[in-house]
Copies of this chain bind each other. A is one copy, B any other.
Amino acid sequence: MKKVSIKDIAQMAGVASSTVSFVLNGKARKMRISETVEKRVLEVARNAGYYPNQLAISLRTGKSKTLGLIVENIGNIFFATLAKTIEEEAEQYGYRVVYCSTENNASKGKELISMLSQRQVDGYLITPAPHMEEDIQQLVQLQRPVVLIDRYLPAVEASHVLVNNTDAVEQGMSHLFSQGYREIGFVTVDLDIMQMEQRLDGYIGALSKEGIRLNKDNILKIPYTHQRDEAVELIATLLENNPHLDALFFATNYLAILGLESINRLKMSIPQDIAVISFDDHDIFRIYPPGITSIQQPVEAIAKKAVALLMDQCENGENKIEKAAVELAAKLIVRGST
Contact = CB atoms under 8 A, between A and B. Distances in A.
Identify whether the interface residues of A are mostly helix, strand, loop, or mixed.
Answer: helix
A31 interface: no
A155 interface: no
Copies of this chain assembled into the complex = 2
Contacts of A55: 55, 58-59, 64, 119-120
Interface in A96-121: 96, 98, 114-115, 117-120
Interface stretch (A74-82, A146-154, A170-178, A272-280): A74-82
Interface stretch (A38-46, A125-133, A194-202, A257-265): A257-265
Interface of A: 1, 51-56, 58-59, 64, 74-75, 77, 80-81, 83-84, 96, 98, 114-115, 117-120, 142-143, 257, 260-261, 264, 283-284, 286-289
Nearest to A84: B75
A1 B143 contact: yes
Given A51-B114, A75-B77, A260-B287, 8 more contacts: A1-B142, A53-B120, A55-B55, A55-B58, A55-B120, A74-B83, A75-B80, A98-B98
Given A74-B80, A75-B80, A143-B1, A51 B288 contact: no
Most chain B CB inside 10 Å of its own CB: which residue of A55, A115, A257? A55
Nearest to A318: B1
Contact of A51 (B59, B98, B118, B286): B118
A242 B96 CA distance: 48
A284 B289 CA distance: 12
Contact of A52 (B74, B81, B118, B143): B118
A48 to B, nearest CB: 13
B98 A257 contact: no
Contacts of A74: 80, 83-84
Contacts of A118: 51-54
16 contacts: A51-B114, A51-B118, A53-B120, A54-B118, A55-B55, A55-B59, A55-B119, A55-B120, A56-B59, A74-B80, A74-B84, A75-B80, A260-B287, A261-B286, A261-B287, A289-B289
